[in-house]
Amino acid sequence: MKVLSILQAVFAILTIITILLQGRGSGLGSAFGDSTAFVHTKRGAEKLVFVASIIFATTFLAVSLAIALL
């Protein structure tokens, strides 16, 4: 049970970090100073961060449900 609580905290932190890295309405490039990029499709690191946030959120949900059911 303690392991699941630790995993829940880890996935919560990872989810928060990846969501904050996404930047609202702008590409990942503008988060690091490149505000001239007007590409609307997710590519490279931006797509990786997007997919990672979905995986971390889903895993967080699964761990939370496991804790609730035990």
**pLDDT per residue as tens digits for the range 21-36:** 987 655 555 556 555 5
Rounded to two decimals, the pTM is 0.73
- Please answer whether residues 28 and 45 qualify as being in contact, where contact means their C-beta atoms are separated by less than 8 angstroms: yes
Count other C-beta atoms under 10 Å from residue 49's C-beta.
Answer: 19
Q: Report percent pLDDT > 90 for the chain.
A: 59
Nearest to 43 by CA among 56, 53, 29: 29
Give the Cα separation of 26 and 18 in Å (integer).
15
Q: What pLDDT is stored for residue 37 in this prediction?
A: 53
